[in-house]
Amino acid sequence: QVQLVESGGGLVQAGGSLRLSCAASGRTFSTYAMGWFRQAPGKEREFVATISSSGGSTTYADSVKGRFTISRDNAKNTAYLQMNNLKPEDTAVYYCNAQRGNVYWGQGTQVTVSS
Mean of pLDDT over the chain = 97
Say which DSSP state 88 is in: G
Q: What angle do CA 77, 6, 38 make, to 5 degrees?
A: 120
Whether residue 26 is predicted with pLDDT greater than 90 in this model: the reply is: no
Sign of CA dihedral 72, 23, 19, 101: positive
Give pLDDT, residue 1. 84
Give pLDDT, residue 64. 98
Strand 46-51 and strand 33-39: the pairing is antiparallel
